Amino acid sequence: MTSLEANDSVKDGVDQETVEAVRNVGGHYKYGWETEIEMDYAPKGLDSDIVRLISAKNNEPEWMTNWRLDAFSRWEKMEEPNWAMVDYPKIDYQDIYYYASPKSMAEKPKSLDDVDPKLLETYKKLGIPLKEQLILAGVEGAEEANLDERKVAVDAVFDSVSIGTTFKDELRKAGVIFCSISEAITDYPELVKKYLGSVVPVTDNYFATLNSAVFSDGSFVYIPEGVRCPMELSTYFRINAENTGQFERTLIIAEKGSYVSYLEGCTAPKRDTNQLHAAIVELVILEDAEVKYSTVQNWYPGDENGLGGIYNFVTKRADCRGDRSKVMWTQVETGSAVTWKYPSCILRGNESQGEFYSIAIANNFQQADTGTKMIHLGKNTKSRIVSKGISAGNAQNTYRGLVTMHPKATSSRNYTQCDSLLIGNKCGAHTVPYIEVKNNSSRVEHEATTSKVDDDQLFYCRQRGVNEEDAVALVVNGFCKEVLQALPMEFAMEAQQLVAISLEGSVG
Amino acid sequence: MLKITNLKVELEEESKEILKGINLEIESGSVHAIMGPNGSGKSTLSYVLSGKKGYKVTNGEVELAGEPILELEPEERAASGLFLAFQYPVEIPGVGNMTFLRTAMNSQRKFRGEAELSAADFLKLVREKAKELKIDAEMLKRPVNVGFSGGEKKRNEILQMALLEPKMCVLDETDSGLDVDAMKLVADGVNALRDKGRSFLVITHYQRLLDHIKPDFVHIMADGRIIKSGGPELALQVENNGYSDLLAEVQ
């Protein structure tokens, strides 16, 4: 374990003003407004009746209700993990609403035309209009990049329910199923039964077990054999209701030789209280199939004093079951007060490949403990990890990763590059790589660096006429370039701007 | 163009005086050279002019084209037409030279209330300038100064100067670390930019750069002061006899 506190051994690159400027940040979070809408809540707190109630709200079959109840009884016996380098007050699980749905969603709308205009307006304001248009609107520069031909289908999740899904018909023509998970449980029970919990078992970890008991909605994707999904798919998660947890669940199944690129975005209103978000994403990837999963996580990070913000405890895992299957996780983590997230790859198939590209930014009092696991089980498997952690203000940013080569995973390779960038002298960057190699024909490489945005770089930019904030954004975007390049075009531009916004005020 | 009046400067961290009353006036279109031994305050002068942090001005004034600049931020001085060619150009990993140049140019234009250049117009302009300076287009695609040779870094500075079209150019030991051929290329670049509306302040240890960039005036700096000013012949005198004679003369 290597650990580096900014204020001891690193040369002080940015002067004292930095720290003061960081204190003055705030008000830059663009998505902090809330939608005023009448909501249906389940009673506060959690017991088996609440689990039954959530199941009933979704009109679930009995097997699903029992699955949830089983998860709940296991969760009751589990302990919240404390190994991550994050520090937060104890969560009172009985002081949270586990289900909140707009009243207008009581009767499921038949099509997007029937959806409450207030909800449509919400997504429009977020830059995600739920219309079947050619490109994701609201992404500046999208036109410039000549994306006319690109379509993005959206599933919009608002608190506990999915509002609607675009391009369903067109996707169905290609054989692709893209719908909310609650619909999938009703309409495709065989697929759900077969794959739900097969990648992240019910008892995987505390938060995963909780999610298994109370998840209310999320997205479901099925790409049939040999099909290349004709457009990008995306889910946009919005937490709106106060004191409400969001527990979504995403399941993507890529049959033999298929391909899909999936994007995920998330935001929440500004509030003084913390809110819990515990999600699960499961990817099942069969022979020769490929899944790209990109996330831009922009949950409300809390204010400059560390008040409020989302607690983000997420379990994401891909199972490369088939030979030559491939997965690529790309994440840009800029939001949340606390992030606990390790998108992982089980490289089960021979010659399967896993990639993980990550940018994690922590400013003010944010804490991020994030990384990946690469579990090499098959022969000639390959993985690549590129992690860029940026810390500013009083934030703590930890990369935690596991690379394991099992005895049968002969001739496998991993390359890990883990870079940390510090802005100011009160933040910290930590790298915790675990490496286990149980055969002698595999190769694992790990490179790590820690650096500071130094005054010389900023002065050089400023002498050329670039103001200080733009200079920081320029330097940081350069630092993140490899990861930004791994994102789909629409997200790359948004992410680049987000990097700049997240660090606003981080220098004097 | 540039008028420095009785400028006194201390280091911010310790009250050590580095510049002890500099007076210098540079006319529009002229080239001045400052020579001096190590530690005489030459580089400090270039940093103070361009607004680097870490220095405290205790006395004096600096005017650029009649406007006082000491209260301005570095980027405001840049947009007002001050350019510093760095002795050690800084590397910025992951940021393409082209992106950097375009960001710089448009920031300055925005500051001056001018329209930003489109990507296409900028590309055309930068290619043109690079060609004039015989700079390989390949260099434009690489990250700013990363993996550049000493000569490439200095030529990149000159390219930036050519694009940003400053009124007042300060060259801080641009010849350091260059072999004769590289130095000549850089000097040719500077000479191509000489113009009646543009002034230069060339800071150097050695006379050899001044063989290529012919100055109108030469100043000798020692211990934070300009101890002697004259024409180009002063540089030759230093070349032949070193600084000691001049220093002795003053004392």
C-alpha A465/C-alpha A459 separation (Å) is 10
Q: If you write DSSP's letter for every residue of B38-55 in order, what string do you get?
A: TTSSHHHHHHHHHT-TTE
CA dihedral A55, A58, A62, A65 (to 10 degrees): -20
Q: How many CA atoms lie within 13 A of A300 on its CB side?
A: 26
Whether residues A470 and B103 touch (CB distance < 8 A) is answered with yes
Q: Is B170 on the interface with A (CB under 8 A)?
A: no
Whether residues B86 and A460 touch (CB distance < 8 A) is answered with yes
Residue A121: CB atoms within 10 A of its CB come to 13
Q: pLDDT, tens digit, for every residue of A158-215? A: 887 777 788 888 899 999 999 999 999 999 999 999 999 999 999 999 999 999 999 9
Amino acid at A501: I
Closest to A374 in 3D by CA, of A446, A312, A441, A448 = A446
Whether residues A465 and B51 touch (CB distance < 8 A) is answered with no
Q: Are B200 and B194 in contact (CB under 8 A)?
A: yes
Whether residues B93 and A479 touch (CB distance < 8 A) is answered with yes
C-alpha A490/C-alpha A261 separation (Å) is 12
Query: Any residues with CB less than 8 A from the CB of A452 and at least 6 apart, and which?
Result: A6, A10, A11, A13, A14, A421, A422, A423
Q: What residues of B are in contact with residue A468 (Cβ under 8 Å)?
A: 73, 75
pLDDT of residue A24: 36
Whether residues B74 and A456 touch (CB distance < 8 A) is answered with no
Q: Is B143 on the interface with A (CB under 8 A)?
A: yes
Whether residues B78 and A456 touch (CB distance < 8 A) is answered with no
Smallest Cα distance from B237 to chain A, Å: 34
Per-residue CA distances from A1 to A285, A342, A401 (Å) = 33, 17, 11
Q: What residues of A are in contact with residue B73 (Cβ under 8 Å)?
A: 462, 467-468
| Residue-range domain boundaries for chain B | 2-250
For A459, the closest of B74, B100, B108 (CB atoms) is B74
Whether residues B100 and A474 touch (CB distance < 8 A) is answered with yes
Q: Are A414 and A374 in contact (CB under 8 A)?
A: yes
From the candidates A144, A463, A479, which should be mutated to test the interface with B, based on the most B CB atoms within 10 A?
A463
Give mean pLDDT in consecutive 10-residue pieces for chain A, a chain of 508 residues.
36 34 46 80 90 92 95 94 88 89 78 77 74 47 45 80 81 92 94 96 95 92 95 85 86 97 83 86 98 88 82 95 96 87 96 94 88 96 94 90 96 95 88 94 93 89 93 89 81 76 68
Q: What residues of A are in contact with residue B54 (Cβ under 8 Å)?
A: 455
C-alpha A435/C-alpha A371 separation (Å) is 13
pLDDT of residue B237: 87
Amino acid at A452: K
Q: Is B112 on the interface with A (CB under 8 A)?
A: no
Q: If you write DSSP's letter for every residue of A172-218 in order, what string do you get?
A: HHTT-EEEEHHHHHHH-HHHHHHHTTSSS-TTSSHHHHHHHHH--B-
Burial state string for B68-107 with b = 16 or more CB within 10 A and e = fewer than 16: ebeebebbbbbbbbbbbbbbebbbbbbbbbbbbbbbbbbb
**Secondary structure letter of residue A425 according to DSSP:** S
Q: What residues of B are in contact with residue A459 (Cβ under 8 Å)?
A: 52-53, 74, 90
Q: How many CA atoms lie within 13 A of B44 on its CB side?
A: 27
Q: Are B31 and B215 in contact (CB under 8 A)?
A: yes
pLDDT of residue A86: 86
CA–CA–CA angle A471, B141, B174 (5° rounding) = 70
pLDDT of residue A153: 81
Consecutive H or E run containing A160:
none
Whether residues B84 and A15 touch (CB distance < 8 A) is answered with no
Whether residues B100 and A464 touch (CB distance < 8 A) is answered with yes
Residue that the structure tokens 């543009």 belong to:
B198
**Average pLDDT rounded to a whole number, residues B132-159:** 89
Q: Is B94 on the interface with A (CB under 8 A)?
A: yes
Pairing mode, if any, of strands A382-392 and A413-423?
A: parallel
Whether residues A468 and B90 touch (CB distance < 8 A) is answered with no
| Residues found in chain A | 508
Amino acid at A364: N
Q: If you write DSSP's letter for every residue of A290-323 in order, what string do you get?
A: EEEEEEEE------TTS-SEEEEEEEEEEEE-ST
C-alpha A198/C-alpha A181 separation (Å) is 15
Whether residues B90 and A456 touch (CB distance < 8 A) is answered with yes
CATH H-level, domain B2-250: superfamily: P-loop containing nucleotide triphosphate hydrolases (3.40.50.300)
Q: What residues of B are in contact with residue A469 (Cβ under 8 Å)?
A: none
C-alpha B138/C-alpha A182 separation (Å) is 54
CA B240 to chain centre: 26
Backbone angles phi, psi at A451, to 5 degrees: -140, 170
**Average pLDDT rounded to a whole number, residues B176-184:** 86
Closest to A47 in 3D by CA, of A93, A100, A101 = A93
Q: What residues of B are in contact with residue A480 (Cβ under 8 Å)?
A: 94
pLDDT of residue A364: 85
Residue B241 — pLDDT band, cuts 50, 70, 90?
Answer: confident
From the candidates B13, B52, B75, which should be mutated to test the interface with A, based on the most A CB atoms within 10 A?
B75
ipTM of the complex: 0.96
Q: pLDDT, tens digit, for every residue of B28-73? A: 999 999 999 888 999 999 999 999 999 999 999 999 999 999 999 9
C-alpha A31/C-alpha A13 separation (Å) is 32
Q: Report the 3 state secondary structure along A366-414.
A: CEEEEEEEEEECCCCCEEEEEEEEEEECCCEEEEEEEEEECCCCCCCEE
pLDDT of residue A146: 44
Name the interface residues of A facing B (CB cutoff 8 Å).
Answer: 15, 455-457, 459-468, 470, 474-475, 477-482
Encoded tokens for B156: 């990149």
Smallest Cα distance from B83 to chain A, Å: 7
Residue A452's SS3 state is strand
- Is residue B76 predicted with pLDDT exceeding 50? yes
Whether residues B90 and A460 touch (CB distance < 8 A) is answered with yes
Encoded tokens for A233: 């798919």
Q: Is B147 on the interface with A (CB under 8 A)?
A: no
Consecutive H or E run containing A230:
none
C-alpha B5/C-alpha A352 separation (Å) is 70
C-alpha A323/C-alpha A326 separation (Å) is 9
Q: Report the 3 state secondary structure along A86-152.
A: CCCCCCCCCCCECCEEEHHHCCCCCCHHHCCHHHHHHHHHCCCCCCCCCCCCCCCCCCCCCCCCCCE
Residue B171's SS3 state is strand
For chain A, the straight-line distance linking the first and the last C-alpha, in angstroms and rounded, comes to 32
Q: Are A130 and A154 in contact (CB under 8 A)?
A: yes
Smallest Cα distance from B212 to chain A, Å: 26
Q: What residues of A are in contact with residue B105 (Cβ under 8 Å)?
A: 465
**Average pLDDT rounded to a whole number, residues B190-204:** 93
Q: pLDDT, tens digit, for every residue of B91-138? A: 999 999 999 999 999 999 999 999 999 888 998 999 999 988 888 888
pLDDT of residue A505: 66
**Average pLDDT rounded to a whole number, residues B163-189:** 90
Smallest Cα distance from B250 to chain A, Å: 35
Residue that the structure tokens 């211990």 belong to:
B223
Consecutive H or E run containing A240:
none
pLDDT of residue A129: 66
Query: Any residues with CB less than 8 A from the CB of A212 and at least 6 apart, and which?
Result: A67, A68, A71, A75, A197, A202, A280
Whether residues B86 and A466 touch (CB distance < 8 A) is answered with no
For A463, the closest of B50, B94, B143 (CB atoms) is B50
Q: Are A450 and A420 in contact (CB under 8 A)?
A: yes
Checking phi first, is residue B177 left (phi over 0); if not, alpha (psi -120 to 50) or beta?
Answer: left
Q: Are B113 and B141 in contact (CB under 8 A)?
A: no
Tell me the pLDDT of chain A averaged across its residues.
Answer: 84
CA–CA–CA angle A149, A152, A156 (5° rounding) = 160
For B74, the closest of A456, A462, A470 (CB atoms) is A462
Per-residue CA distances from A178 to A156, A160, A203, A263 (Å) = 12, 18, 27, 13
pLDDT of residue B162: 93
Residue B104's SS3 state is helix
Q: What residues of A are in contact with residue B93 (Cβ under 8 Å)?
A: 478-479
Beta bridge partners of B62: B4
Whether residues A463 and B74 touch (CB distance < 8 A) is answered with yes
Per-residue CA distances from B175 to A505, B190, B217 (Å) = 38, 12, 18
